[in-house]
Structure 1
Amino acid sequence: MAVSDEPLHRVVVLVRPGLLPMELGIVHRLFGTAVDDTGRPLYSVVTCAAEPGEISTDADFTVNVPAGPEALRNADTVVVPAAVEDYGPQQRGRLSPPVRAALAQVPATARLASICTGSFVLAAAGLLAGRRATTHWKSCPELSALYPEIDVDPDVLYTDDRRVLTSAGVAAGIDLCLHMIRSDHGADVANTVARGTVVPPHREGGQAQYIDRPVPEPADDSVAAARVWALEHLGETVTLEDLARRAATSVRTLTRKFRQETGMPPMQWLGQQRLQYARRLLERTDEPVDRIAAAAGFGTGTAMRQHFREALGVSPRAYRNTFRGAG
């Protein structure tokens, strides 16, 4: 088979001071190991900075980046990783003049992508307006508040909306890059890259399964007694009437106060507590799914599996395989 002389797809990574080195490594590793069936590389990967030179990281070393923003002028794909500055609320929603000038050099035809809180750079540049996007789950509320024009999805690992892509926290950058490789060259190439990197070619579910939502201690509020009682009886049938009786109030008043004090209706709150309790048992015990389902109040393993699929995008078994012993 003849070797193609077609120019390589050029991936340019725009890094900033306070770079998270893993995110830069992800892009170089995955795109850098993608080859065709002759062994020819499919991408060239270049790192650049708005102000080239020695770039600080969040670790105890720096990265020397000789290429400046001119590297962006002939980019086919531009990737913006996270930086320490993204985590300061006073920085979000702002672009430094050098970064803004660098982004202005990106061709209109280029594909744009961000890893983790690099999405704040794309948002501040107006590149996510009217699009679906995500970022690390801890930062999704801030992204949504700062940019109401963006459809922020806190549950997914990555989004792809008309050649502008975003990913969740650090490791979701792997999922994002594999998705781009898969879109460009098919599943076989992406799967080969994934195998070489010893990562799954596609992860089940979204980032909802990684959000740690501890079962809260009830606050000193007017439905506290009902909430305490419910947490102690998760494995039993609990009705609105039961909760109202424990709160010494009517069902209507209970529902209103629950919304005021927890932000959700009573039964939705109860469902979240059951889900969280089941997650803890899956992480910390070897109990069968059916027994956990009964203990958490789901009744049957089938019912619990449905709740896990709807809330987390994975089955209880897949969740346990991911998190058993991680706590």
Structure 2
Amino acid sequence: MGFSTVAVMLFDEIPLFEASVPIAVFGERRSGLPDFDVRAVAAEGGPVRTDAGITLAAPHGLDAVDDADLVIVPTWRHPLGRPPAREALQALSRAHERGATVVALCLGTFVLAATGLLDGRTATTHWRYAPLLASTYPRIQVKPDVLYVDEGDILTSAGSAGGIDLCLHLVRRTYGPQTAGDIARSLVVPPHRAGGQAQYVDHPVPAPVDGDPLGETLDWALRHLDQEITVDALSTRALMSRRTFDRRFRQVTGTTPTQWLLHQRILHAQRLLETTREPIEQVARRVGFASAVTLRPHFRRQVGVSPTAYRETFGGPDAPNAARAADETRRAAPELA
């Protein structure tokens, strides 16, 4: 079923960026895109104060949730702070009971958990707070290492960029990959990242600036994924010893060079499968694997499905044009954390 009315519940003392994510995704106004009725709701009444000291005048009260097709809690104040207002929790429960899709992004999962709607379900949140979610709500099966969890009528996501991924996933699930891709290109973000991907794997690439050998090296690696690249070769290119390179790399990206390289290859394979009709054997070689046989186990391990199944699900109808747009998106914003 589609959705047209989106209620975004804003609580007091929330982070400004996360609060704006669903409004940015569903509020896009452009010919050819669905015209969503996006309602910013003051979930606790009155102006909404953000953690940056900026006050927002949300134009809607909780009554705007009552007939929304999609209800989103985009974020939450610190989980150990004061609890959400009872009226807001009741509005969420009523929305779910009448059949609305309910979504929690990042720390918003704590609000949804407080309603009891997540009991017996699988959910995620920002990895830093996943242990707290699991200990506070032991009836929830918490998955700390994924971008988002889709349980049909209830969906939850990791932090920041994970919220964008989930919103685009909802558009893709309901309106197809072309519409999701159009919105993603407008936002200059990757059009799709599978929910099963690890939160901490899609590591940011430091912007290559003069005098920054690590950033320049990683930028070079992204442009040469079809070649054999060793960690020793990268450390040499960065003019560092292997030990120094490994330490600096982990400081900047949070992972090892080998893990990062493997994931970048899989990400590039996903883009090619989404946006081209190239044989999988050729896709494998273009992203640095010797053959499709070598690609498949790594792809399945990270994405959760085979390359063929992924293409059948997410391959767009206008592959050549989509490929060019995806390349432009990747150059503009190589990765999001």
Deviation at 1:19, TM superposition (A): 2.0
Q: Which residue of 1 aligns with 2:5?
A: 10
Q: Which residue of 1 aligns with 2:21?
A: 26
The 5 Å alignment of 1:270-309 reads 281=249
Pairing 1:112–2:105 present: no
Write out per-residue CA displacement over residues 10-31 of structure 1, whole angstroms, 9 at most, x where no aligned residue. Answer: 0100110012221232111111
Which residue, out of 130, 136, 145, partners 1:140?
130
Write out per-residue CA displacement over residues 147-192 of structure 1, whole angstroms, 9 at most, x where no aligned residue. Answer: 2211111111001013100000122110010000001100000000
CA distance in 1, matches of 2:10, 2:114: 16
TM value normalised by structure 1: 0.61
Deviation at 1:311, TM superposition (A): 8.8
Write out per-residue CA displacement over residues 210-252 of structure 1, whole angstroms, 9 at most, x where no aligned residue. Answer: 69xxxxxxxxxxxxxxxxxxxxxxxxxxxxxxxxxxxxxxxxx
Write out per-residue CA displacement over residues 99-138 of structure 1, whole angstroms, 9 at most, x where no aligned residue. Answer: 2233244252100001101001111101111111100000
Pairing 1:207–2:199 present: yes
C-alpha change, 1:200 and 1:322, in structure 2 (3 Å) is closer
Deviation at 1:52, TM superposition (A): 2.9
CA distance in 1, matches of 2:174, 2:191: 15
Pick which of 118-127 and 100-109 moved more.
Answer: 100-109
Deviation at 1:71, TM superposition (A): 0.4
Q: Secondary structure at the match of 1:53?
A: coil
Deviation at 1:40, TM superposition (A): 5.7
C-alpha change, 1:45 and 1:69, in structure 2 (3 Å) is same
C-alpha change, 1:288 and 1:40, in structure 2 (3 Å) is closer
Supply the AA of the counterpart residue of 1:113.
V
Q: Which residue of 2 aligns with 1:162?
A: 152
Supply the AA of the counterpart residue of 2:159.
G
Which residue, out of 37, 53, 58, partners 1:44?
37
Q: Which residue of 2 aligns with 1:122?
A: 112
Q: Secondary structure at the match of 1:78?
A: strand
Which residue, out of 27, 47, 50, partners 1:54?
47
C-alpha change, 1:194 and 1:103, in structure 2 (3 Å) is same
Structure 2, unaligned runs of 5 or more: 204-244, 263-287, 290-294, 305-329
Write out per-residue CA displacement over residues 241-273 of structure 1, whole angstroms, 9 at most, x where no aligned residue. Answer: xxxxxxxxxxxxxxxxxxxxxxxxxxxxxxxxx
Contact 2:76–2:111 under 8 Å retained in 1: no
CA distance in 2, matches of 1:165, 1:288: 32
Contact 1:8–1:44 under 8 Å retained in 2: no
C-alpha change, 1:167 and 1:34, in structure 2 (3 Å) is farther
Which residue, out of 157, 162, 174, partners 1:172?
162
C-alpha change, 1:151 and 1:10, in structure 2 (3 Å) is same
Between Structure 1 and Structure 2, whose CA radius of gyration is higher? 1
CA distance in 1, matches of 2:34, 2:303: 35
Supply the AA of the counterpart residue of 1:52.
G
Write out per-residue CA displacement over residues 277-309 of structure 1, whole angstroms, 9 at most, x where no aligned residue. Answer: 958547779x9969x99xxxxxxx99xx99997
Q: Which residue of 2 aligns with 1:67?
A: 60
CA distance in 2, matches of 1:175, 1:40: 18
Deviation at 1:64, TM superposition (A): 0.3
C-alpha change, 1:146 and 1:8, in structure 2 (3 Å) is closer
Q: Which residue of 2 aligns with 1:244?
A: none
